[in-house]
Structure 1
Amino acid sequence: MPWWYPFGCIAFIVGGILIFLKPEWLWALTEQWKSYAADGPSDFYILSTKIGGVLFAVFGGVALVLPLFLT
């Protein structure tokens, strides 16, 4: 396993948790500039972003422990 592998997995976990806790930040970075009239993310955007954040964190966790079971 490369030396950077655990750091990448931890980055996925931290990123997923951050996306889950603050989906408004992701909206402000990626979507806000596309509309002059939008004052905040929709409820559907927040829900789908939170689901994506959970999946990101789970993927990072599985990728982190998977080599322990495969060796």
Structure 2
Amino acid sequence: MLLPFGLVMLIQPQWIWAISEEWKSNDATEPFDLYLFSTRFGGAISTLVALGGIIASFFL
């Protein structure tokens, strides 16, 4: 589950914003650049952790 969510966060952070944050915004036009950066960063970390777990499961 971590790999697909990490990839979505990395590739399409707007989807995450639309699901989780859009309803909280007054104008709800688009996410801020900082939100996009932090979501992509979190997606990259999640993807790396998931890939590390997959690789580790083969060797341990």
TM bucket (normalised to shorter chain) is 0.7 to 0.9
Distance 2:5 2:25 in 1: 25
**Structure 1 stretches of at least 4 aligned residues deviating more than 4 Å after TM superposition:** none
**Superposed CA RMSD:** 1.1
1:1-71, aligned counterparts within 5 Å?
A: 11-70=1-60
1:63, CA displacement in angstroms? 0.9
What is the identity percentage for the equivalent residue pairs of Structure 1 and Structure 2? 32
Distance 1:25 1:67 in 2: 30
Aligned residues: 60
Unaligned runs of 5+ in 1: 1-10
Distance 1:38 1:13 in 2: 28
Max Rg structure: 1
The TM-score, its normalising length taken from structure 2, stands at: 0.87
1:15, CA displacement in angstroms? 1.5
Unaligned runs of 5+ in 2: none
